[in-house]
Amino acid sequence: MSEFQKHLYLILYPNEALVASQLSPAEFGRHYCVGSTRHFSGKVIFVEVDINYRNEYFRLDEYLAATESGVPGRPKKTKFVKSYRVLENLDFSALQQLFLVTPDGREVYFNEKSVLEGAFRRLRVGSAVRFAEEPGDEGPQASTVAVARRERRSASP
């Protein structure tokens, strides 16, 4: 039995990937944004995936078994499972809590009720958002989440 609990995370922004990890959601978000020099630096949006979810496409039992750091007392931070056709092969019923992590590694919670103008269903992988942050029952919470409008570029003369 592992010393650390295992998790599955679906990264939605800045890329799409399914990742196994022994980090809690807060630790994972912080690691991905500011703690890893090998990967990305900046904001991230991810969803925790039900650890009991299985789909042959992902070979999850194999990846979860390999999600061990090999160093006693130290969790395995990331084990990338897939970065191709992830959403196509993942059942939405396996998705759990959604997390926004700021570029400085702070976790901000939001849900469908926070998104303005009923735009929650229009959010897509890679959608840019703007939000106001306020204290919430579960820590920092995003309120008034808006899908960022793309600026139109004027044609060069």
Q: For residues 47 and 94, what is the distance between their CA atoms, to the nearest angstrom?
A: 10
Where is pLDDT greater, at 146 or 69? Answer: 69
CB 57 within 8 A of CB 90: no
Q: How many CB atoms lie within 10 A of CB 131?
A: 18
The model's pTM is: 0.76
**Sheet harboring 79-82: ordered strands across?**
79-82, 17-21, 7-13, 44-49, 95-101, 107-109, 139-147, 129-136
Distance CA 155, CA 94 (A): 45
Residue 16 near residue 22 (C-beta atoms within 8 A) = no
More confident call, 15 vs 35: 15
Q: What is the DSSP string of 87-107?
A: HHHS-GGGEEEEEEE-TTS-E
Domains in the chain, CATH or no CATH each? 7-147 (2.40.50.140)
Round to whole Å and give the CA distance between 114 and 64.
33
Any idea what the Cα angle at residue 56 is, between residues 53 and 58, rounded to 5°?
75
pLDDT surpasses 70 at 156: no
pLDDT for the residue numbered 131: 80
- pLDDT tens, position by position, 117-126: 777 777 766 6
Q: Does 9 or 41 have the greater pLDDT score? A: 9
